[in-house]
Structure 1
Amino acid sequence: MGTPIFRIIFHIDLNAFFASCETILRPELQNLPLAITGEKSSKRGIVVTANYVARQYGVHSAMPLMQAKKKCPHLVVASANFDLYRKISQQFIQLLHEYSDQVEKASIDEAYVDVTHLYQEIHPLHLAQQIQQRIFNELKIGCSIGVAPNKFLAKMASDMKKPNGITVLRKRDLPHILWPMPIEEMFGVGKASSPKLKQLGINTIGDLVHYKDVDKIEQLFGHHALKWIENAKGNDQNPINPNKYEVPSSIGHSTTFSKDYCFAEEIKAEAKRMCIKTSNRLKKYGLYAKTISIQLKDTSFKQITRSQTVQIPIQSVNELYPIIEELFDEHWEGQALRLIGVNTTNLVNTNKVTQQLNLFNYQSFASEEKLNQTIQQIKTKHGTHLIQKGIQKGQK
């Protein structure tokens, strides 16, 4: 075989990952309907994921556990075991590195792999079959693999045959395979965007490709619109980035003032901005902080750093800022400042889904999640600086 004129990208998606991990420890659950929940005993428990047996009964992620049990009375429920999931995820990535150093971890259960360099050694389809078999034999987990000339098409392909499918999607296949698909099934088009696209008469991916008034779409959706169109045409050029999700050991932001800041309110306003930026980065990496620090530097360049460690790891601005405000009030002596910084360390991969939901916090949890989703949609469409969450004064 000659040298290819295009890339060969795999997108590998582990099937029903959390549930599959549980069956590794408890093989007797293999053919039973199984749901993973963050809080098994809570009446307010929510399904994190379900295996394919449970899905046949209509059980799916984000479904209240009580509703899932009504749909499937003999549903087996297991509490999430994130230490196990991370361990198997690491083994998964290590296995892929045996084939290529161009591996990009997309999430805990999926990854992109550039295998172009293996083109002359093995046919891409045979290589996909080999990797799929190894993952099953060594990790005891099934997977679906998309084979394509770029990341977007590989991702779309891996979703087409689940579980345990292998799908090749070439650019010449797009008119009869990709373009007839509903627009809401296009990777990158969110639940909020697809109804708006349909209002424009864009019901399928092909409709997006052939839409005449591109400027109108761009006005509504910003730079994402052009990216969607290029992806739908099969022109995604994004490279594999092995370090994209490299987890940092600390996350923080600082700002140097253009003049001396002497008043508490203006200093706190800057501190709040640093908390917002820090919170956004924590969310980007899916991390929570146990130690929160404030850094103050005065006009003579004397610097002090003070920290507070919390028992329950935090992530949101409404959790970070009160701590920073308290540290500032306690340690600022009224001197003029030229720099303030916020830093978080002792980071952990705690997920909100493991938080116990009870009668007293369930409604606020649900409301905050809905608000966070709305804010993120606005940021995606109009930019990150247009809207931010406010801080309730005096909140502790």
Structure 2
Amino acid sequence: MDEHSHDILEWDGPAIGLMDLDAFFASVEQLDHPEWRGLPVIVGGSADHRGVVSTASYEARRYGVHSAMPSAQARRLCPNAIWTHGNFTRYREVSAAVMGILSAETPRVEQVSIDEAFFDVTPGRFSRESPLEICRRIQARVSVLGVSCSIGLGINKTVAKIASDRDKPRGLTVVFPGTEEAFLAPLPVSTMSGVGPATEKRLAAMGIQVLGDLAKASPVKLERTFGVMGPRMAVRAAGLERSVVAERAKPEEAKSVSNERTFDHDLTTGDEVRAAILHISSMTGRRLRRRGLTGGTVTLKLRYADLHVRTTQRQLSSPTNDEHVFGPVAVRLLEGLWQEGTPVRLVGVGISDFSGAHGQQMGLFDEAAAEEDGHAHDHAALSQLTDALRDRFGDDAVSYGRDLRFKDRTTGTAPMGKNDD
């Protein structure tokens, strides 16, 4: 929908935007390497080692290359592309600058990945300015950084997300209050986040092809097929979802250090999920040690294929920054949070409670696991040695089997950095 024709209209109701940085990693590479501008650039793993594409520039996309594609296939489609494994430190730096631009417009900024964030610019809440003008200003300020973004604007997160994908790059798609049904109804059900191939197939078997069909479907039948998520999908498809954008924590208010990764293919087995938790725990431990912090509470976060998020936490017997201690505890938090076979898209592990005040201690079983084979001090020394080697020779200098297992398997989602260095 062309936003210019509605400038004179007042926005009535919530105004939630989704900002998505265009081909972000590749755009940063082209920014830092001017000679690459206008050329196909692919950020991803090696085509010779079963890597996958993390991000492809728009020049590479013209050849059919897209994220999560096997690198070998991308090389066949675009043999002349410039390849790079990427620089996450640089990507986080640019991402932080972009999030700072959003935070200057509204305190309600909810970062969902390194290159995406929801923001709330509801008139009268933080500003009396038109939400459209705010979005245009955000795009202009982001472009000054040397990258571009596309924005979707609507009354809730589902509408904003779908709208953000409609016009790329540098698009601004606005769904004005009251037009949600007309906007959503003709779109394929797969357009809505959380509706993957399996769900799409099951909906098709029910005669549901587009969001308009889903919005009118029987809640009883949907719940019978999909559980509690079924009726929720119908509400979202109808544009009736009520969304809250969380307030972004200020750096001085940060109370946890965490790390999370989104995987290019969903994890479905216990072996995979447990290995992922230990893999992410090692990253969190390193960040804690870099900041000289120890914490007394471990949190496990899982995002399922339907984008539903669940978290749980447990207090430790004493503050720690050693993943050999809190990693196994995070693994045990899986019980009651996840069932074998349920697809997991994202895994996160965080440590909090830096005050030193702790409640109930873990049982003897937890203590025994944390001090496996009586080598807790050896583990701590090993972690410090590993940190030193990686600091000197790079992150790939030392890798455990679990780390190699997930090499080139992430989509590029880095730590959100709400409270990390």
Q: TM-score, normalised by structure 1?
A: 0.65
Cα distance, 1:123 vs structure 2: 2.7
Provide the C-alpha distance between the structure 2 equivalents of 1:250 and 1:111, rounded to a whole number of angstroms. 18
Cα distance, 1:125 vs structure 2: 2.2
Structure 1 equivalent of residue 42 of structure 2: 35
Structure 1 equivalent of residue 186 of structure 2: 180
Cα distance, 1:237 vs structure 2: 1.3
Residues 215-364 of structure 1 correspond to what in structure 2 (within 5 A)? 215-243=220-248, 248-249=256-257, 288-290=284-286, 317=331, 325=369, 327-330=371-374
Provide the C-alpha distance between the structure 2 equivalents of 1:59 and 1:2, rounded to a whole number of angstroms. 40
Provide the C-alpha distance between the structure 1 equivalents of 2:366 and 2:42, rounded to a whole number of angstroms. 37
Provide the C-alpha distance between the structure 2 equivalents of 1:107 and 1:37, rounded to a whole number of angstroms. 17
Q: Deviations over 1:59-110 (max 9, x none)?
A: 1112222221111111110112110111111111111111111111121101
Pair 101,309 (structure 1): closer, same or farther in 2 beyond 3 Å: closer
Cα distance, 1:329 vs structure 2: 4.2
Instruction: Give 2:142's match in structure 1, choosing from 132, 135, 146.
Output: 135
Provide the C-alpha distance between the structure 2 equivalents of 1:135 and 1:9, rounded to a whole number of angstroms. 18
Pair 184,95 (structure 1): closer, same or farther in 2 beyond 3 Å: same
Structure 1 equivalent of residue 341 of structure 2: none
Percent of matched pairs sharing the same residue:
31
Cα distance, 1:228 vs structure 2: 1.4
- Do residues 152 (structure 1) and 158 (structure 2) align? yes
CA contact (8 A) 2:181 2:239 kept: no
Helix, strand or coil at the partner of 1:236: coil
Aligned residues: 311
Cα distance, 1:247 vs structure 2: 7.8
Helix, strand or coil at the partner of 2:233: helix
Pair 30,118 (structure 1): closer, same or farther in 2 beyond 3 Å: farther
Pair 94,324 (structure 1): closer, same or farther in 2 beyond 3 Å: farther
Pair 240,317 (structure 1): closer, same or farther in 2 beyond 3 Å: same
- Do residues 99 (structure 1) and 143 (structure 2) align? no
Pair 364,21 (structure 1): closer, same or farther in 2 beyond 3 Å: closer
Cα distance, 1:5 vs structure 2: 4.2
Structure 2 equivalent of residue 192 of structure 1: 198
Provide the C-alpha distance between the structure 2 equivalents of 1:13 and 1:132, rounded to a whole number of angstroms. 10
- Do residues 17 (structure 1) and 24 (structure 2) align? yes
Residues 51-62 of structure 1 correspond to what in structure 2 (within 5 A)? 51-62=57-68
Helix, strand or coil at the partner of 2:18: strand
Mind listing any 5+ residue stretches in structure 1 that lack a counterpart? Answer: 252-272, 296-302, 333-344, 370-396
Q: Deviations over 1:99-126 (max 9, x none)?
A: 1111111211011111124697433223
CA contact (8 A) 1:44 1:362 kept: no
Question: Which is higher, the Rg of structure 1 or of structure 2?
Answer: 1
Helix, strand or coil at the partner of 1:98: helix
Structure 1 equivalent of residue 356 of structure 2: none
CA contact (8 A) 1:104 1:244 kept: no
Q: Deviations over 1:308-339 (max 9, x none)?
A: 667xx999849x9999747244289xxxxxxx
Helix, strand or coil at the partner of 2:105: coil
Instruction: Give 1:67's match in structure 2, choosing from 43, 68, 73.
Output: 73
Mind listing any 5+ residue stretches in structure 2 that lack a counterpart? Answer: 1-7, 260-269, 297-316, 333-348, 350-364, 377-382, 411-421
Helix, strand or coil at the partner of 1:192: helix
CA contact (8 A) 2:63 2:78 kept: yes
Provide the C-alpha distance between the structure 2 equivalents of 1:121 and 1:166, rounded to a whole number of angstroms. 20
Instruction: Report the residue type matching 1:153 in the other structure.
Output: V
Q: Deviations over 1:150-188 (max 9, x none)?
A: 222111111111111111113533343311111111122
